[in-house]
Amino acid sequence: MHHHLILRVVTKMLVGTIILFALYVQFHGDFSPGGGFQAGVIMSVAFILYGIVFGLSQAEVVFPPWLVHKTMALGVLIYGTTGVFSLLLGYDFLDYGAFSPDHPSHGQHWGIFAVELGVGITVTGVMVGIYYAFASRPPPMDDEDW
């Protein structure tokens, strides 16, 4: 894999750009098309591309499997906490008015932001976890057997 110098250099340049675009989609999802799911998939593409080009072991150094599992749980926790917070304040589950009772539009903004953040973190973890699961399987045949 060391002989693919151009591919490795281009990948290193693209990974940062992909992550930056994912953050843009995440934080502008309530104003434009996009949001947590799309941002999570785009963010995971950066790690998957890195793993395809540099190998699974290098990708696991950058984004360890234990951290992948924690991000899955953290995203769900953020999403659920948003709903429980509104319940504790006497509102319906995921009623964003609880975040700012004096200004419901501000509460709507913060509630959507929190939910989309949770979704983005979860989707990133799940997609990278799926990649790790498939990439770590031993091949059924050697390359010479083809």
pLDDT values of the chain reduced to their tens digit, one per residue, 146 residues: 566 889 999 999 999 999 999 999 998 866 666 688 999 999 999 999 999 999 999 999 999 999 999 999 999 999 999 999 989 988 888 888 888 878 877 888 888 888 899 999 999 999 999 999 999 988 777 767 76
On whether residue 77 sits in a domain, the answer given is yes
On whether residue 146 sits in a domain, the answer given is no
Domain coverage including residue 15: 5-137
On whether residue 14 sits in a domain, the answer given is yes
On whether residue 144 sits in a domain, the answer given is no
On whether residue 143 sits in a domain, the answer given is no
In the prediction, which pLDDT does 94 show?
83
d(CA 139, CA 69): 24
User: Scanning the structure block, which residue is given the tokens 């983005």?
Assistant: 120
- Nearest Cα to 119, choosing from 44, 26, 36, 29? 36
On whether residue 70 sits in a domain, the answer given is yes
How many domains does one find in the chain?
A: 1
